[in-house]
Amino acid sequence: MRRLILLSILTLFISRDIISQQVPIYSQYILNEFLVNPAVAGIDGMTSINMTGRKQWLGLQHTPETYSVTFSTRILKSPFSVQNRRYHKGSKGRVGLGGAFVTDWNGAINRTSLQFSYAYHIFIRNNQLSFGMSLVATQFRIDQDLITLRDPNNDPVTDVLGKSAYIPDAGAGLSYSSRKGIISISAVNLFQSPIKFGNQEFRSQDLDHIRQYNLYGLYRYQLRNQRWEIEPSVLVRGNEKLRFAADITGRLIYRKEYWAGLSFRATKDFILLLGMKINRVYIGYSFDYGLNELSKASYGSHEVVLAIKLGDSNRRYRWLERY
C-alpha cells in the first residue's frame, strides 16, 4: 500500500497532461467500485443498487453532468437439484453479475451507455482473486441546440448534428481483495471503437474512444477501540498516450455508519466527502472545489450517491466461509 501511495504522489508531479473527460469522472467511486472495475461485481456477496448524480461547476451553463444507475449481485452457492427428472449441478458461489446505465453530458456532447458485466471469484485462503469483463453499448450524439459552428458550411460536425451513433466496446479487470483492503487494475474502451453515423465515420482526436487504464488501491486500518477506521485509497488513471491523472483519498469512518474524508485530484481539485449508513441504505455527498478559473467562477462540483445493499443472510458471502 505504501508503494502504491508513493507511485500516485509521483504521478501527480510528473504528469504533463491530464486525460480529458471522455470517461465520466466520479468522486465517490469508493461507494461503488463497480464503476471502476467490472471484476468487483458481487465481490462481497451482496446485491447492490447504486444511483449517482453529478453536476460539475454548478452555476455555469452546459457544464458536464453525469447520472448513473448500477446493479451487481452474486450467484450464491446452491446444492444439486432435480428438475424434470434431470440432475442439475449446484453453483459454487463464484459468479458475479452486474449492469449499468450511464448518461453523461459534456457540453453539447451526450454519451448514453448500457453495460453488462460478468465476474468470477476465486478464494485464496481468506482472500479473493476476481476476474471480470464487460460489454458496453454507447449511443453518441451532438445536440444541435447547444453548439455554435464558426463555419457551418465547412465544419465536419454539420452533417452529423441531430443524428446518433451506436458504438460497441468492452472492458476488463482484475482484483485482489481481503478484509483489509483491495488492489485492482482495469481497462475500458478496449476496442477503441470509432464513431460512425450510419456509413459515415466521424474522425476527431478529441472524440475518438481511447483505451484507458485504472489502478486502484484501498486499505482499511481499524483503530484499537474498534469504533473508528482510517481508510486511505488511491486511484490512478492513464491511457496509451501517456497521459495520467490521480486521486488520493483518506476517509475516517465511525462504527461503519458515518464517514468524512478528503481527496486531492491531479487537476488541483480538493474534494470533501461525507456520508452515512441507515440500515441497508448508504447516502453519500461530495463537494469538489478546484484552483482553476472554472471552479472560481462557479459554486464547485456536487455529487450525490444513494445505494442499497440487500441479502445479508447466512447464505451470503463471508470471509471465513468457503464455497
Cα angle 57-272-280, degrees, rounded to a multiple of 5: 110
Where in the chain are the domains?
A: 2-80+87-310
Chain CA centroid to CA 280, Å: 21
For residue range 58-80, what is the model confidence (pLDDT) as tens digits?
Answer: 888 878 899 999 999 998 777 65
Q: What's the pLDDT band for 186 if we cut at 50, 70, 90?
A: very high
* pLDDT value of position 318: 54
For residue range 153-170, what is the model confidence (pLDDT) as tens digits?
Answer: 665 566 666 677 888 999
Q: What's the pLDDT band for 240 if we cut at 50, 70, 90?
A: confident
For residue range 286-323, what is the model confidence (pLDDT) as tens digits?
Answer: 999 988 777 778 888 999 999 999 876 555 555 435 44
* pLDDT value of position 142: 78
Beta bridge partners of 197: 200
DSSP string, 7-37: HHHHHHHH--S---TTS---S-GGG-GGGT-
User: Domain 2-80+87-310, what fold?
Assistant: Porin (2.40.160)
Residue among 2, 84, 71, 80 nearest 42 (CA): 71
Length of the chain: 323
* pLDDT value of position 57: 86
Query: Is a pLDDT exceeding 90 seen at residue 172?
Result: yes
**What's the average model confidence in pLDDT over 131-152?**
80
Determine which of 4-13, 39-48, 183-192, 204-213 has the lowest per-residue pLDDT on average. 4-13
Are the C-beta atoms of 171 and 184 separated by less than 8 Å?
Answer: no
The pTM score is 0.82
**What's the average model confidence in pLDDT over 131-155?**
78
* pLDDT value of position 272: 96
For residue range 15-60, what is the model confidence (pLDDT) as tens digits?
Answer: 444 444 567 889 999 999 998 999 999 998 889 999 999 998 888 8
Query: Is a pLDDT exceeding 70 seen at residue 205?
Result: no
For the chain, what is the mean pLDDT? 81
Tell me the range of 85-94, 167-176, 187-196, 314-323 where mean pLDDT is highest. 167-176
**What's the average model confidence in pLDDT over 198-214?**
67
For residue range 79-89, what is the model confidence (pLDDT) as tens digits?
Answer: 655 555 565 56
CA dihedral of 255, 182, 130, 36, whole degrees rounded to 10: 90
Chain CA centroid to CA 127, Å: 22
Share of the chain above pLDDT 90, in %: 45
